[in-house]
Every structure is written in structure tokens, then in C-alpha cells.
Chains A and B, each alone.
Chain A
Amino acid sequence: MMENLPPNDDPLARAEEALRRTSVPDGPSAETVGRILDALQKAKPGSRILRWPIPRTLRSVPRLVAAAVFVAALCSTAIFLIHQQALAFSDVAQRLRDAHRLRYRMTITSSRMKGAMVFRQLFQEPGLVRTEGEDGHVAIHNLRQGKTLILQPASRSALLLEMTPKPDTPPRPSADGGVQWLEWLRSLAEKEGEPAGRKRVGHAEALGFRVHDGDFDEMIVWADPKTRQPLLIEGTIRIGDRRDHIAISDFEIDPALDEDLFRLEAPAGYTLRKMTTELLNPAEDVAHVLGTYADTHGGTFPRQLDDLGAYEPLFSRMNVRGLPDLEAIKLIQSLARIVRFVRDKKSEFGYEPDGVRRGDADKIIFWYRTPEADCYRVVYGDLRIGTVDQRPEEP
């Protein structure tokens, strides 16, 4: 093969060589192999028939003893199956959906982060959410009022953000990550869960339900069959170029919560700043983010719309130490809405930055079908927003 390769000044030969040189792990993990074997087992016809091989040691004991052992094993299995059937996934998910108050702990780990990100979240009807970070920062949302109070005890500073919807933009849920998680938890009741075995979670022998959810590559809800309460939800989620492992635990359903926890007032001694931001539509968010990116990247655009890593340099010139400034807040909000949009819309939009530079007024870089009308909203290379009747063609 090597003799067919062009000389080293050929970009293709160098790229091939680079890809071949890429370090590749030895193989799949044992967990992956187990998952694949499970999938193959399900694919086999008649896979529901369980075989009960009698161990060699049992073959040497009298048939009566062997039968007794076998029956005992069957009985314990039957008890397990009864328990499993007695706990339906819907029982667990509906408890989360119907909770008036909720408290849980969330742990996020990622290969791109040092250590884990841990926070506690509290929810109370109607529309009050409090997120407490391990570093002491607190975010309190009043979803009905569209207000968020961020507290930073270390600097004794507070920021009150008010989101004003535009007249032509339908109200949308908050793009804040913490609020999204809460919405997601409550939406589990609309999904189905299939049995995923059992494992010990704390002091309980939990039953698992695998839930197929577009946001997650893999997600299992572990619940206590006695209390029907969720004990642990764990899964892997992809956000842009990141793959994060999520664990939600320490659930408390309808605990007593002090109303002061959700008060949108800075504690005494805190310096309070107030900011107002507009709720943009997806095209406006994309134009805003792409414009900020192009300003610092010679007029070019990121290769992927939701590649959060590509946007990291943008924040280096902004004030994101302590409480962020308005420019950074707006960018964070637009990015959060874009990530959500990409996840929700999947193939209902297009982003084609190849060969487009800032100022290319005749090239469409982003489009999506508007929910309210049979047309497409587009963003051109000069970041102008327009509307077209036909779906733009992908190159």
C-alpha cells in the first residue's frame, strides 16, 4: 500500500498518516460487550425462553436434592419477577411529574472536566427553581416572572436577570441548564422504560428501567420497588462536542421547603446588579453567536453550530470572573438556546459553514422551518436574517 502513496507534500498522504498514527484503545469495554450481548440475545428468536443449566456439581447429588435446590432457585427468581412486574416505570416517572416540591442532587462528569460538577436542585410549584452549586453560588429562577437571581457568596455579589419576550416571539421555557433538567425529569412520565436488571443503590436493591430518550445515548432509572421512589438516574448525554455522564440521586419528593429559599432578593450586604435581556428567536441567536465568533476568527464561522469548545476563546476577552457582564450573559443565553435547539430540532434545520465567510450576502449559512408558518427562516453569510419559501438545498 505504501508504495502507492504520494510524496509527503501531499496533504492527503499526511492526513492518512496522521489518522493511522492516531492512538486507538485496545477494544470495547466489558460493559459495552455486555450491552451488545444483551442486544443480540433480544434479537434471537425465542430469546424469552430462559434455560436453566444445572451446574455439574448438582449432577452428582441425588435427584431429589437437586430438584429441591432447583425449585428454591426458581422460587427466588419468581419472587424477583413478581417484584419487577409490581413496579412499573410509569409509577416512578409519575411521582416525579406530580411532585409539588422536589429536591435532588446532580453530578456531572466529563472527560473534558477536571473532577465532577456537583449541584443540588430544589423545585417548588408554581415555577420556582433553586440551584445550589458546590462552590457556593446559587441561582434562583421564577419561571412565571421570567426572572433569575444569581448569588455569589465569595464576592458577596448578586445579579438579577430579567428576560423580556419580544412581541413576535412565543414564550419559551428558560434556557438555563438547571431548569432544563427539571423539565426533563418531569417529562419522563411521557416515556417508556424497559426492565434493565437490578443493582444495589445505597441500602436498597433497586430495579432498573432503560429509557430511550433522544437526549441520552444511554439512560437508566433505578427505583426502589418498595417505595416506588427513584433512587438514581444515570446516563450519558451528548452536548455538542462533549459527552457528559450524568447521575441524579438523593431524591426527596414533596419535602418541606422554606419559601425564603426562592426569594428573588439579594441578602443583606450583597451588591446587586440588574440586567434585562431579550428572548431571541433561533435565527437571531445564531446570528448573534456567529457574529461574535466571526469577529475573533477572521470572518470565518465554526464548523459545528453546537461545538461549545469552539466558543470557549470568545469568553476569554469577556468578564466571566465573578458574575459575568451583560455581553457574556447574552452570549451564554444564546448558546444555551442554540444547544437546546440543535438537540430538539435535529434534522429540521441546516447549518452549512463550508466556504462561507462573514459578508457573503448571497450564501445561506443556517436555516430552519418556522413552527408557525410554512416557510424557512434563514441566516445569510452577512448575518442578515430572512425568510424563504423553499427549503434551502444542502450542498
Chain B
Amino acid sequence: MAEWPELLQEHGPSAWRAAYRIVGNRADADDCLQEACLAAFAYSRRNQIQDWRGLLVHLATARAVDRLRSRRRHAVGHYADWETIPGRTRSPSERVEDAERADQLRAALARLAPTQAEVFCLHCLEEWSYDEIARHLSTSTDAVGVHLHRARKRLRVLLAEFLEVPPGPHGEGMGNSENRS
């Protein structure tokens, strides 16, 4: 049986931070970590865990993506802590722009298929390799690449909608609804 106080002390912060970056506030990150720990506990009763940190980060990321989607479904505003204000070394206007862009990306992630959103977050925010993601999602590295490609394609369209400008050279057109969740 895993010693949870030690596990939480060692790996809890990484998983919590992964969730926090996605949801943008402490309360939701707390809930994501708790749900991730309970899911990991249930999983560990049936399986031998080799990589607790990876498991907790993956589960917390998945819960955070769920939370983003739930916010959107229920049309409930999200609460961003003041702590999330980006980079103190940047100018006030840059910080505001960063905060807006981060919020837009969160809103766009909420509209992706869950697996695409998870893969995107793990690769682009947590800097996991394709191999790591494939191992934790029990899939192939090729499939990870496909998910990531589709996620980026759809995110560009969604961000262009938020900005009310044409998708530009990196997007594939406003009418694309291939990956709508």
C-alpha cells in the first residue's frame, strides 16, 4: 500500500500545479488534485504503479480539462486568482494581454475533445514527450501526434473566432468542425 502522506508531499505539488495552470485558480486545482488522488488510489489497488508523479499529473490534467468543459457547459464564470497574473517582469499592458490570451486558450481548450485537450496540455504545458504521453494514455506515439495535430488545428480556429480575425496561414478555415466535441 502506498504511503500517501509521502506521495502527496513528493508528487502532489507537480500535479496540483499542472491543474492550476489549466483551471487558473486554487479552489479548482485543489478539487482536481483530490479527485486525481482518489482515482490514483483506486487504480493502485488493481495495478502496480511505477511512476506516481506521472500518474498524478496525468489524472490531475484530465480532471482540469473536465472542469474547463463543465464550466463551459454550465455557462458559469471562472475565477482566476490574482496569483495567476503572468510574469511580474513584463509591463502592465503585456501582463493584461497575456492574461487575456491565457483565458482565451483555456476557453478554447474547453471546446476540444477531452483526449486532444489532455494531450495538448501534457505536451505543451507539462513538456511531456510523445512517448511519455503514449505510455500514460495507453496509446501509440503516432496517435499522440495525431491528437496533438488535431488539437492545434482546432485551437487555431477557435482562437481566431475569439479574436474575430481570419484564421490566417496556420489555421484551416472557420467552417471546420471536424473535431468539435
Give the one of A20, A351, A355 with max B CB within 10 A. Answer: A20
Q: Does B84 contact A (CB under 8 A)?
A: yes
Q: Does B142 contact A (CB under 8 A)?
A: no
Q: Do the beta carbons of A19 and B12 come within 8 Å of each other? A: no
Q: Does A25 contact B (CB under 8 A)?
A: yes
Contact of A28 with B16 at beta-carbon distance under 8 Å, contacts A15-B102, A241-B78 already known: yes
Q: Does B21 contact A (CB under 8 A)?
A: yes
Tell me the nearest residue of chain B to A33, going by C-beta. B8
- Which residues of B82-135 have CB atoms within 8 Å of chain A's CB atoms? 82-88, 90, 97-99, 101-102, 104-108, 123-125, 127
Q: Do the beta carbons of A22 and B76 come within 8 Å of each other? A: no
For residue B82, which residues in chain A have a CB less than 8 angstroms away from its CB? Answer: 111
Q: Does A243 contact B (CB under 8 A)?
A: yes
Contact of A19 with B106 at beta-carbon distance under 8 Å, contacts A33-B8, A43-B38 already known: yes
| Binary CB contact string for chain B from 36 to 58 against chain A (1 if under 8 A, 0 otherwise) | 01100110000000000000000
Q: A6 to B152: give the CA distance in the assembly, Å.
A: 11
Contact of A243 with B25 at beta-carbon distance under 8 Å, contacts A11-B159, A43-B38, A43-B41 already known: yes
For residue B26, which residues in chain A have a CB less than 8 angstroms away from its CB? Answer: 25, 29
Min Cβ gap B81→A in Å is 6
Contact of A19 with B105 at beta-carbon distance under 8 Å, contacts A12-B159, A304-B76, A304-B77 already known: yes
Q: Does A16 contact B (CB under 8 A)?
A: yes
Q: Do the beta carbons of B77 and A307 come within 8 Å of each other? A: yes
Min Cβ gap B26→A in Å is 7
For the complex, would chain B's binding face be called helix, strand, loop or mixed by DSSP majority? helix
| Binary CB contact string for chain B from 1 to 33 against chain A (1 if under 8 A, 0 otherwise) | 000110011001100110011001111011101
Q: Does B161 contact A (CB under 8 A)?
A: yes
Q: Do the beta carbons of B21 and A19 come within 8 Å of each other? A: yes
| Binary CB contact string for chain A from 22 to 47 against chain B (1 if under 8 A, 0 otherwise) | 11111111001101110110011000
Q: Do the beta carbons of A12 and B77 come within 8 Å of each other? A: no
Q: Does A346 contact B (CB under 8 A)?
A: yes
Tell me the nearest residue of chain A to B177, going by C-beta. A395
Q: Does A285 contact B (CB under 8 A)?
A: no
Q: Do the beta carbons of A11 and B12 come within 8 Å of each other? A: no
Q: Do the beta carbons of B123 and A1 come within 8 Å of each other? A: yes
Tell me the nearest residue of chain B to A349, going by C-beta. B75
Q: Does B156 contact A (CB under 8 A)?
A: yes
Q: Do the beta carbons of A18 and B99 come within 8 Å of each other? A: yes
Q: Do the beta carbons of A238 and B79 come within 8 Å of each other? A: yes
Q: A240 to B69: give the CA distance in the assembly, Å.
A: 16
Q: Do the beta carbons of A22 and B21 come within 8 Å of each other? A: yes
Give the one of A9, A39, A40 with max B CB within 10 A. Answer: A40
> Which residue of A1, A10, A23, A342 contacts B156 across the interface (Cβ within 8 Å)?
A10
Q: Does B155 contact A (CB under 8 A)?
A: yes
Tell me the nearest residue of chain A to B24, going by C-beta. A22
17 CB contacts below 8 A, A to B, read A10-B156, A12-B170, A16-B125, A17-B101, A21-B98, A24-B17, A33-B9, A36-B8, A36-B12, A37-B4, A37-B5, A40-B38, A236-B27, A240-B77, A304-B78, A309-B77, A347-B73
Query: B-contacting residues of A (Cβ < 8 Å)?
Result: 1, 6, 9-12, 14-29, 32-33, 35-37, 39-40, 43-44, 111, 217, 236, 238, 240-243, 303-310, 342, 346-347, 349-352, 354-355, 394-395
5 interchain residue pairs of minimum CB distance:
A27-B13, A307-B77, A304-B77, A351-B75, A18-B101
Seed contacts A18-B105, A21-B98; 15 additional CB < 8 Å A-B pairs: A1-B127, A10-B156, A11-B101, A15-B108, A18-B99, A19-B21, A23-B88, A27-B12, A32-B33, A39-B37, A40-B38, A217-B31, A242-B79, A243-B27, A352-B75
